[in-house]
Chain A
Amino acid sequence: MITAFIFRALDRNTYIVLGLLLAVGILLPLLSLTDPSFPLHVPTYVIALIGKYLCYALLALSVDLVWGYCGILSLGHAAFFALGGYAMGMYLMRQIGARGVYANPVLPDFMVFLNWNELPWFWYGFDHFWFAAIMIVAVPGLLAFIFGWFAFRSRVTGVYLSIITQAMTYALLLAFFRNDMGFGGNNGLTDFKDILGFNIQAPATRGVLFFASALALAAGFLICRAVIASKFGKVLIAVRDAESRTRFIGYRVEGYKLVVFVLSAMMAGVAGSLYVPQIGIINPGEFAPANSIEAVIWVAVGGRGTLIGPIVGALLVNFGKTWFTSGMLAEYWLFVLGALFVAVTLFLPKGVVGTLLARAKARPTSTSAPAAVSPIDATIAAEEGA
């Protein structure tokens, strides 16, 4: 049954995206391991950079799943991303062992610094990778479940939902800044050494992490595609376009929303967990509401309601950010980003990919009034084309 679920998702476009991701995921790390004199050599920092983008793309994909297909604009996805990141960070901290500055065999450096005598209970288990791997999806998933359970049952929708998701991530930001929380406070978790026994700085490890990110993104894409292609996905789109009507037809809207919200939070958690070892640090700043909003703009730029859109959007915006902030124009990046927000909402409501798809769809029938297509029809049409 699950295979049927997956196989239905596999259309031509999906094959192309998956193929591309896997090809990039394998080729780039291999090229980075070549000799620097090799003409196609890829420097390690490029691998780290693009690996980071791939994690962002997965985050954008998870935002798109709830926003583009279910109409839930979450301004708190950075919280799930950061929680996944912290779970991974805690595992990496345990791997440091006695190699910290204070060389304490049991406690991480920051706990020694705070004069703590024993490991807090919530750090137990993070010595094992399998435990951390479970937590990476379980913690964001649980938070999303509790939050969504209350919010969707009370029929908190639209703007209100956006604002309380923002309040949630803001509250977590404040909480993780506290030293008493036991997550390193202001400085967060850093100074990682090993992952699964391999040196985290080694080019080969970085290559594997890059491949894992590409693989995770491909898997996320496949899962989203499968969800959207299923009957469940059609109900989600119905909820997005006419929530009350869907409810009156007899669907339990809150159940559908809850499932997709939790799934999306887990994807964001995985993205965060792959982000942390490649960046080398996780701190409370990742919870900032601004990060959530930025993830939303990646989706908007690429095109919500399409699955390729958020990936393209995340890559485009972040390439732009890197290009701008590394040069003379660093000061103007916020102008560009701000203008991008405004321009996309005003002129490209369907995003880059959405607009292109709509145009491609409209061309054969251009003789018969394409302007009559409503935005909702267009996104659905675009989706079916995707």
Chain B
Amino acid sequence: MTPERTSVTMRYSLPCLATLAAVFFMLAAALHPAFGADIRPEVNALGTPGYTALKEAIGALAATGDPAVPELLQALGQGELYVRVADSAVFKVTDTDDGYNLVDPLTGEDAGPAAADEVSKITVNNSVRETISAALGLMTLMSPDPQKRLAAAGDVYKSQDPKQIPLLDTAIAKETDKSVAAALQLARAAAVLRSDMSDADKLAAVEIVSQRDDQDAISLLSSFVASAPDGAAKTAAASAITTIQGTLQLWSGVQNVWYGISLGSVLLLAAIGLAITFGVMGIINMAHGEMVMLGAYTTFVVQEVIRSHYPGLFDWSLAIALPLAFLVSGGVGVLIERSVIRFLYGRPLETLLATWGISLILQQAVRTWFGPNNREVGNPSWMSGTFDLGHLAITYNRMWIVVFALGVFAVLMLVLKRTPFGLQTRAVTQNRPMASSMGIRTPYVDALTFGLGSGIAGIAGVALSQIDNVSPNLGQNYIIDSFMVVVFGGVGNLWGTLVGAFTLGIANKFLEPYAGAVLAKILVLVFIILFIQKRPRGLFALKGRSVEA
């Protein structure tokens, strides 16, 4: 008997449905606490020659409901079960160098070696594999754990096997959990579409399937449309496909926007410190990326300390790392400003060279200290995992980074606009001599402003350590992007940086599906170069006398 013929006869024969229904009831009975009988006869029955007999044996085995059965059936599916020719006993076999080693399939006990001709493999074909997976699905469909029932319903939905309709009907009648019941209904509808039931039944099924508006539903409905005879169900299915496709298109747009926002928030985090050191102070700070890197390494050190001394605090590691990263990067920033940059005010191109040199030193220092390889920074529990919003799978770490970037931006705006320090900063950057004659200690403000920008870069590093490799080159990856964002947004304008970051992020993600990731990035770079020609001072250019200074 060829496998094809088997599956055809199996799928549409009533006796077969009856067998499976019987299996189901036996299974339900077996789940009573009274079981515990030895299932060895059923296991050995797997060795009976012929695929039909094998399928029956699988059904009988599933009906015992023994907890060892799933593993056994999987082993069978993978061709690990063998029959010993001498006594027709079934064994699990592991290959050794000289022949086979037999293992008892139920107890896992070693049953000694065997030569290749003493045992014969129980072969399976696709049809048998289908039976195995249906049997496995059945065993879990009745499980007391609703999560397992839900997963089983999903499996049955994927198999779309009309044979299982009666089983599903019974399961639906018994089901008390609402979400599991819905999943079972869906699985049943999918199976109905494959069956030869009446047009009215199928119409109802189309209705149910189209509620699940995803790619699976489309392929299910379109294969139904392709094969179904004309009728109300076919028309309904065709229009359902169009509706679902529309929804999916909308969601893929929404997904691009979300990815764009996510990338934009990363750009914003990377660029926001630079918006202060470069945008506000006019220092071409090529060591900005290294400030981000220092923040990331601070997170690493904090986590190492927590891991070895206070493991319970791990979920708090980022909260602890934030102020420390601010202090470390900010401190290094103040040190750089006092030792190098203050001699270079008014010579922007020289600051570029000097800070590039500093960035090389910092990179090499970290490489010498921590080694050149990536260091492991873990996600706290509240930052790992995903949740679904409609058809969008949102990872918690991406979401928190968006929130965090906006939070940092808001705090920075508050500091610059609402505090005396912010006032002094703005005064010094707009008109240094005047600010100085008003009694502002300009060198002090310079140092603190540079420290603030560097510190912000440091806390950006804490966030970026969650999504990027923490290596000495971390900063290099962000420096060019950061400059692009600040220049595009408009130097000296924090709102410009915000808008610039999200515009570039979203533009990048919308280009990616058409152009690929690398080409999208190139296109964005070329766009910025052209944009600078048109508006040399960025999106939100400062106007007035301070611009030319």
- Complex interface: chain B residues within 8 A of A296 (CB): 353
Question: Counting CB contacts under 8 A, is B449 at the interface?
Answer: no
Question: Counting CB contacts under 8 A, is B364 at the interface?
Answer: yes
CA gap between A289 and B269 in the complex, in Å? 22
Question: Counting CB contacts under 8 A, is A345 at the interface?
Answer: yes
How far does the Cβ of A358 sit from chain B's closest Cβ, in whole Å? 17
In the complex, per-residue mask of B217-238: 1 if CB is within 8 Å of any chain A CB, else 0? 0000000000000000000000
The reply to whether B284 and A341 contact each other, CB–CB distance below 8 Å, is: no
- Complex interface: chain B residues within 8 A of A332 (CB): 364
- Complex interface: chain A residues within 8 A of B358 (CB): 338, 341-342
In the complex, per-residue mask of B344-357: 1 if CB is within 8 Å of any chain A CB, else 0? 10001111111011
The reply to whether B340 and A171 contact each other, CB–CB distance below 8 Å, is: no
Q: Assess A158 versus B349: contact at CB under 8 Å? Given A167-B484, A341-B356.
A: yes
CA gap between A339 and B534 in the complex, in Å? 38
- Complex interface: chain B residues within 8 A of A345 (CB): 344, 350-351, 353-354, 357
> Which one of B52-60, B249-257, B317-325, B518-526 contacts A?
B518-526
- Complex interface: chain B residues within 8 A of A338 (CB): 356-361, 364
- Complex interface: chain A residues within 8 A of B530 (CB): 150
Partner of A331, one of B286, B340, B349, B364: B364
- Complex interface: chain A residues within 8 A of B344 (CB): 345-346
CA gap between A153 and B361 in the complex, in Å? 38
CA gap between A122 and B202 in the complex, in Å? 59
Question: Counting CB contacts under 8 A, is A154 at the interface?
Answer: yes
CA gap between A22 and B483 in the complex, in Å? 43
Question: Counting CB contacts under 8 A, is A164 at the interface?
Answer: yes
CA gap between A221 and B484 in the complex, in Å? 35
Question: Counting CB contacts under 8 A, is A159 at the interface?
Answer: yes
Question: Counting CB contacts under 8 A, is A285 at the interface?
Answer: no
Q: Assess A335 versus B364: contact at CB under 8 Å? Given A300-B353, A346-B340.
A: yes
> Which one of A131-139, A174-182, A252-260, A270-278 contacts B?
A174-182
The reply to whether B533 and A337 contact each other, CB–CB distance below 8 Å, is: no
Question: Residue among A167, A175, A349 with the most chain B CB within 10 A?
Answer: A167
The reply to whether A331 and B522 contact each other, CB–CB distance below 8 Å, is: no
Q: Assess A334 versus B340: contact at CB under 8 Å? Given A154-B536, A167-B525.
A: no
How far does the Cβ of A322 sit from chain B's closest Cβ, in whole Å? 17
Partner of A334, one of B351, B364, B521, B528: B364
Question: Counting CB contacts under 8 A, is B343 at the interface?
Answer: yes
- Interface size of A as a range: 35 or more
Q: Assess A349 versus B350: contact at CB under 8 Å? Given A167-B484, A170-B525.
A: yes
The reply to whether B354 and A341 contact each other, CB–CB distance below 8 Å, is: yes
In the complex, per-residue mask of A151-162: 1 if CB is within 8 Å of any chain B CB, else 0? 101111011101
Chain A contacts with B in 313-343, Cβ cutoff 8 A = 331-332, 334-335, 337-342
The reply to whether A155 and B536 contact each other, CB–CB distance below 8 Å, is: yes
CA gap between A293 and B354 in the complex, in Å? 11
How far does the Cβ of A191 sit from chain B's closest Cβ, in whole Å? 25
- Complex interface: chain B residues within 8 A of A342 (CB): 340, 354, 357-358, 361
- Complex interface: chain A residues within 8 A of B286 (CB): 293
The reply to whether A170 and B356 contact each other, CB–CB distance below 8 Å, is: no
How far does the Cβ of B482 sit from chain A's closest Cβ, in whole Å? 10
- Complex interface: chain B residues within 8 A of A153 (CB): 533
In the complex formed, the residue of B with least CB distance to A296 is B353
Question: Residue among B348, B361, B487 with the most chain A CB within 10 A?
Answer: B361
Question: Counting CB contacts under 8 A, is A356 at the interface?
Answer: no
CA gap between A316 and B100 in the complex, in Å? 70
Chain B contacts with A in 286-314, Cβ cutoff 8 A = 286
CA gap between A160 and B532 in the complex, in Å? 8
CA gap between A199 and B155 in the complex, in Å? 66
CA gap between A153 and B351 in the complex, in Å? 26
Q: Which residues of A contact B (CB under 8 A)?
A: 73, 147, 150-151, 153-156, 158-160, 162-164, 166-168, 170-171, 174-175, 177-178, 289, 293, 296-297, 300, 331-332, 334-335, 337-342, 344-346, 349
Task: Enumerate 13 A-B pairs (CB-CB under 8 Å) in ascending A order.
Answer: A73-B349, A147-B529, A151-B532, A154-B534, A159-B352, A160-B536, A170-B480, A171-B521, A175-B518, A335-B361, A335-B365, A338-B364, A342-B354
Q: Which residues of B contact A (CB under 8 A)?
A: 284, 286, 340, 343-344, 348-354, 356-361, 363-365, 367-368, 480, 483-484, 487, 518-519, 521-522, 525-526, 528-530, 532-534, 536-537
The 10 closest A-B pairs by CB, nearest first: A341-B357, A338-B360, A338-B361, A334-B364, A171-B525, A154-B533, A338-B357, A345-B354, A342-B357, A345-B350
Q: Beyond the given A160-B537, A178-B519, could you list 18 further A-B residue pairs with CB under 8 A, ordered by the A residue number?
A: A158-B349, A159-B352, A160-B536, A163-B484, A163-B487, A167-B483, A171-B529, A174-B522, A175-B522, A297-B357, A335-B364, A337-B357, A338-B356, A338-B357, A342-B354, A342-B361, A344-B353, A345-B350
